[in-house]
Structure 1
Amino acid sequence: MKDPEITVLQVEPGKVPEPVTMSNTLEAMQQMVGGYIEIVCLADACLICNEEGKLIGLDGNRRVGDDIIAGTFFIAGDTGDGDLCSLTQEQLEHFSQRFAQPETFQPGEVEDALRFSFYSM
């Protein structure tokens, strides 16, 4: 059964991460990121961001691997069954440290990180 509310780590551009409790609904997720959501699987959690963030010119936020996430995103736990859940205290601490330092980007750097992948079927 899906939890009605979850505790996640909200990461806004230029700010330190902040634990927040939110409704575990698609609408609440879209409201937090400002549009359609994209879920990026991390080793033990999920990063949820605006899937059109770079296309619509949202500010660069943090680097994740060789990509730059644009706009506000949040980190949530993963039930293993396709649902999101609250982060554990250890996960909150880990990701708070991982994203503690706000990042700045050079003009054009976020747009240069925009990639499209095409797969033949």
Structure 2
Amino acid sequence: MGLINLIRRLDAHNAINETLTTDLEMHLDAFPVEPEPDILDRSAAAVSHLLSDARAAIVRLDAEIADKQDQRRRAKIIVEAFAPVLPKLDDGYDAADDARKSYEVAVEAKRVRGDKHWPKRGSDKAENQAGAA
């Protein structure tokens, strides 16, 4: 109704048609008036905001936990892989021993598979013949 009074004050000569103001009043009455939020509405809004923040924090923390668990898993794999190697590295490196062991591992793998065309090395034959004699 305040808008109607404002229009009437602006129209000092009453030139505005009375039907126009009546139509305007009907249109303005058709719009719903939102009531002021009461204490329950404000409390519900505050709780909703708090819950929204808490849920977002849970999602963020779950993602961080999953990332930390993945980092832990990778670190554990590295420790399990390299822990047995460290004492051997402290003993020093012997290239001849490494080459001999590499050859023996390869030959043993072929023997396990049943590859007959891989003969023993000459030094192995000499050791076997000396042991048989």
Larger strand proportion, structure 1 or 2? 1
Q: Does TM, scored on the shorter chain, surpass 0.5?
A: no
Structure with higher helix content: 2
Instruction: Give the structure, 1 or 2, with the largest relative contact order (CA under 8 Å, sep 6 or more).
Output: 1
TM-score class, shorter: under 0.3
Task: Name which one, 1 or 2, has greater alpha-carbon Rg.
Answer: 2
What is the TM-score of this pair, normalised by structure 2? 0.18
